Chains A and B, each alone.
Chain A
Amino acid sequence: MKSRKWLSFPYIIWMAIFIIIPLLMVIYYGLTTKDGTFTLDNLFLIADPINRNALWLSIKLSVISTLICLVLAYPLALILNSMKLKNNSFIILIFILPMWMNFLLRTIAWQNILENTGVLNTLLKFLHLPTLELINTPAAIVFGMVYNFLPFMILPIYNVLIKISDDTINAARDLGANYFQTFLKIILPLSFPGIISGITMVFVPSLTTFVISTILGGSKVVLIGNVIEQQFKMINNWHTGSGLSLVLMVFILISMAILAKYDKEAEGKSVW
């Protein structure tokens, strides 16, 4: 073992250059003014009404997207699992196939679909139905988030479901539980770890995204990701951008901690 420790060296260097140093830089910029003196002002800028509203909207849309993903993904994972296909890797492939396409391309495709004169409205017009104004609304952003991040919810849930043995479910049935009780008392609690990691993997990128909101929200819907992006790229104020990033990071850490705690409580406990 000892002799192989040097194998980890490239990774340590990688982590130092691409993870640790950037993180330290963000912390440095976030906690200093332009002339390099220490300040907490950058962090408090989150209280500015524009920033505050952007963060609040980000949280709201992320929570909505995560919930929609969960509602869509759980039954789908259940169905996939119950199919017990010999070649279930093919089905999985179909669900992750969109992920192989460029993320920007997919999102721009949604823009074309949702536009006022886009695919969806053309279709609605053709059917003599009222058209919808979706583009540049929060709803469009939720569409984009759900579409892009749904596989990240399906896969972890599916992965825990396939690990629940048939005999465990048969045992519950054998002891008198009907389908519904078996689901509620056995399958759901046993799939909790998958739900938690699915939520994590959808919620975090949703909270920080600026690409989806830029493309599908226009300049009308501003999320915290857009605010930070503007600070770096338009206003060229790295200090404010880093400060807001740090606040966002703290928010993510807190939500992760809550989830982890919930996960631990669920483990080894039933939902009686």
Chain B
Amino acid sequence: MAGNKLIDLIDITKVYDDNTVLDGLNLYIRENEFLTLLGPSGCGKTTTLRIIGGFENPDSGKVIFDGKDITKLSPNERQLNTVFQKYALFSHMTIAENIAFGLKIKKKSKAYINDKIKYALKLVNLDGFENRTPDSLSGGQQQRIAIARAIVNEPKVLLLDEPLGALDLKLRQDMQYELIRLKNELGITFVYVTHDQEEALTMSDTIVVMNQGYIQQVGTPEKIYNEPQNAFVADFIGESNIIHATMIQDRLVNILGANFPCVDEGFGKNSPVDVVIRPEDIDLVKPEDGIIKGRVTSLIFKGVHYEMDVWANDHEWLVHSTDLFPVGSEVGISVNPFDIQIMNKPESEDEEAVIMDEE
């Protein structure tokens, strides 16, 4: 599916005033890939996108596009197009004129432009909107026009800066499928910026988790979700139990005083680690069958599952289960060995900085 390197960011650093937004960032993006830059606000994801688009210049480092150094090129000289968060349609033009903007600049023929407008409107399911004005469109429609306006220029890469951020939940979900379909139909590279982990997991081929100007982890959605490399990634992607623990030996970890079998090796003997256990990976069993015992302290019905807090070994465990255990009931906690994800304790200061509200 994904091909050769198309964009290569080499050692990018960007400083605003005294605030280092990106610090020696290295990242490559393959042809035909749906890559998502994911992170909390201020993590540098939007700055990264703006550097690729040419709206910001890095203080140091290089942007290589298709084998050429484009670091110094201005946005209009780059073969990529951007979809902005607030659509940024030209309010003094009709929809057709908006879509035609880039093509008219490139002095394409009238027939070509008209064909392209028709094609693009069909692609985003807005046939017949040629003579409407942007003001008369809903947010979702405006965003689709913004996408149409970008893709008629046949860019090799489409940059999307939180394009669904301003839309309501239902529309956002519809647009996610729409974007996947578009990407497959166009066969181009999408670089997508979002703070919404669900959006990232749904659409991406590759997720880049960022925090405080550093890349925390790069990988497929499955890999990021199932094998987070550090506590920040585990905490940011989905809900999780992150607990201090001690690696007794290979394949055995001591969590809160109880020994759990796991599948990880190579962490040494009696070394401190962090473990991540996803709430849906915790099995609630009869008290005598569990590795540790606990008591249910709260219960919330979430639709697909119940969300329960279990107090066990002086720790509150977050559990998702389709089985109901009433508040106050004694339960046993058991976890499959391969559902326990072991992570090294952060050593450097940079990594330390990423730990978020640990319990």
Contacts and interface: CB of A to CB of B under 8 A. Distances in A.
A207 interface: no
A174 B76 contact: yes
Interface stretch (B100-108, B175-183, B189-197, B305-313): B100-108
Contacts of B97: 270, 272
A111 B85 CA distance: 55
B91 interface: yes
Contact of A175 (B55, B92, B153): B153
A269 B88 CA distance: 17
A170 B86 contact: no
A178 interface: yes
B102 to A, nearest CB: 4
A168 B90 contact: yes
A268 interface: yes
Contacts of A189: 92
Contacts of B153: 175-176
Given A175-B76, A175-B105, 6 more contacts: A167-B85, A171-B146, A174-B55, A176-B153, A177-B76, A269-B92
A173 B76 contact: yes
A128 to B, nearest CB: 48
A173 B105 contact: no
A190 B91 contact: yes
B321 interface: no
A267 interface: yes
Contacts of A165: 86, 88
Contacts of A168: 88, 90
Contact of B75 (A174, A190, A266, A268): A174
Contact of B76 (A176, A266, A269, A272): A176
Nearest to A178: B76
27 contacts: A168-B88, A168-B90, A170-B53, A170-B75, A170-B84, A171-B84, A171-B89, A171-B149, A173-B55, A173-B74, A174-B53, A174-B54, A174-B55, A174-B75, A174-B76, A175-B76, A175-B101, A175-B102, A175-B153, A176-B102, A176-B153, A181-B105, A190-B92, A192-B92, A268-B94, A269-B92, A270-B92
Given A174-B53, A186-B90, A270-B93, A167 B74 contact: no
